[in-house]
């Protein structure tokens, strides 16, 4: 995802000198071509994320389209006051990009785990929150937020994420879910890097005679209300899948829709981290396994919930 983002941004910046990239002294293996070929559109703010955000707002209010970029929590939580008071309050054209969403930097511990960021960013007025599911969605999301005027949060994985979509010619629109797999028994709604696991879980469930619809909810705010309500009308159960706490993230957003609607599924379950900090150490795959976010864990949760509904 990281590579898809920077390559797309570089292409856009070559065609539009208003586009700026401001980094927090990292990622040079990826951003060096941008820095070398577009030096007037690149700023290294140093390890000073509050300053990075302030610089971005100043440039945005002078007519620039500014992308800030750093690891996990640093461009969001460390400078939350600047994002709230400067970016969002002034509806500034700043795009906050976080690389390493979820537990990508697993072994570095909770200081590098971005597991509350969606909840916090979606609570801010004017903020659009986007978590693409694969490199194809990442490239399309980068173009979409560059064209959108106003604050955006783009939550990326780290590197090496698999391509989920069979074609790059998918219809991508902020606030509109993508149906990755059709199904009429239940719906898996995934955001971010767990899209692949949701699709594979859908395939395993199909082998057991359970037809699972899979939606990529790449935009958590504004969320696709109609896609959620359609799933509630047409399938018996809805499961949200996210590498994020279940408090305030995708699951909460879907639950809010369902509780205010007349169409409700027989069962609903949020699959994500409970209200905890991870006390375990290991790479991302290991941590996903530990917290039931791997394919087998998703299937197990689905079958457990369905057995209670059917039984």
Q: Coil, strand or helix: which one is 269?
A: strand
CA nearest to 21, candidates 52, 54, 67: 67
pLDDT tens digit sequence for 8-35: 999 999 999 999 999 999 878 889 999 9
CATH architecture of the domain formed by 2-156: 3-Layer(aba) Sandwich (3.40)
Mean pLDDT taken over the chain: 95
Average pLDDT over residues 197-213: 97
Q: Please, which residues have CB within 8 angstroms of residue 167's CB and are 6 or more apart in sequence?
A: none
Residues of the chain with CATH 3.40.50.970: 2-156
CA nearest to 2, candidates 161, 109, 117, 114: 161
Average pLDDT over residues 252-261: 96
Percentage of the chain modeled with pLDDT above 90: 91
The pTM for the full model equals 0.96
pLDDT tens digit sequence for 87-144: 999 999 999 999 999 999 999 999 999 999 999 999 999 999 999 999 999 999 999 9
DSSP string, 188-236: EEE-GGGHHHHHHHHHHHHHTT--EEEEE--EEES--HHHHHHHHHH-S
* 207 C-beta neighbours (distance < 10 Å), count: 8
Residues of the chain with CATH 3.40.50.920: 178-310
Cβ burial of 2 (10 Å; 0-12, 13-18, 19+) is buried
Q: Coil, strand or helix: which one is 86?
A: helix
Q: What is the pLDDT of residue 33?
A: 93
**Are the CB atoms for 115 and 102 separated by under 8 Å?**
yes
Average pLDDT over residues 238-266: 96
Predicted confidence (pLDDT) at residue 310 exceeds the cutoff of 80: no
Q: What is the pLDDT of residue 13?
A: 98
Pairing relation of β-strands 212-216 and 186-190?
parallel
- Give residue 311's pLDDT band: very low, low, confident or very high (50, 70, 90): low
Predicted confidence (pLDDT) at residue 159 exceeds the cutoff of 90: no
Q: Please, which residues have CB within 8 angstroms of residue 60's CB and are 6 or more apart in sequence?
A: 66, 87, 92, 93, 94
What token pair was written down for 245? 């706490």
Average pLDDT over residues 260-276: 93
Predicted confidence (pLDDT) at residue 172 exceeds the cutoff of 80: yes
Q: Which fold has domain 178-310?
A: Rossmann fold (3.40.50)
Predicted confidence (pLDDT) at residue 40 exceeds the cutoff of 80: yes
Predicted confidence (pLDDT) at residue 53 exceeds the cutoff of 70: yes
Tell me the backbone φ, ψ of residue 194, rounded to 5 degrees: -85, 5
Check residue 102 and report its DSSP letter.
B
Predicted confidence (pLDDT) at residue 179 exceeds the cutoff of 80: yes
């Amino acid at each position: 995802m990281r590579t898809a983002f920077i390559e797309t941004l570089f292409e856009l910046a070559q065609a539009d000198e208003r586009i700026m990239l401001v980094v927090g002294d990292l990622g040079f293996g990826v951003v060096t071509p941008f820095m070398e070929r577009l030096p007037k559109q690149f700023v290294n703010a140093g390890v000073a994320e509050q300053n990075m955000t302030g610089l971005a707002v100043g440039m945005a209010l002078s007519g620039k389209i500014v992308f800030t970029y750093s690891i996990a929590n640093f461009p969001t939580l460390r400078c939350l006051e600047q994002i709230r008071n400067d970016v969002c309050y002034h509806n500034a054209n700043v795009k906050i990009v976080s690389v390493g969403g979820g537990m990508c930097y697993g072994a570095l511990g909770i200081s590098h785990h971005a597991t509350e960021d969606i909840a916090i960013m979606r609570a801010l007025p004017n903020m659009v929150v986007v978590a693409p599911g694969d490199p194809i969605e990442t490239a399309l999301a980068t173009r979409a937020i560059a064209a959108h005027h106003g604050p955006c949060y783009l939550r990326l994985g780290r590197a090496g994420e698999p391509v989920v979509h069979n074609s790059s010619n998918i219809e991508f629109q902020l606030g509109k879910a993508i149906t990755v797999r059709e199904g009429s028994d239940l719906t898996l709604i995934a955001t971010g890097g767990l899209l692949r696991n949701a699709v594979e879980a859908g395939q395993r469930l199909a082998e057991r005679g359970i037809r699972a619809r899979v939606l990529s909810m790449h935009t958590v705010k504004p969320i696709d209300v109609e896609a959620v309500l359609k799933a509630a009308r047409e399938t018996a159960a809805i499961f949200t899948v996210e590498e994020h706490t279940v408090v305030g993230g995708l699951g909460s957003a879907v639950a809010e829709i369902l509780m205010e609607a007349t169409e409700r599924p027989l069962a609903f379950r949020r699959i994500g981290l409970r209200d905890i900090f991870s006390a375990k150490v290991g790479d991302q795959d290991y941590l996903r396994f530990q917290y039931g976010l791997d394919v087998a864990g998703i299937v197990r949760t689905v079958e457990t919930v369905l057995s209670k509904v059917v039984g």
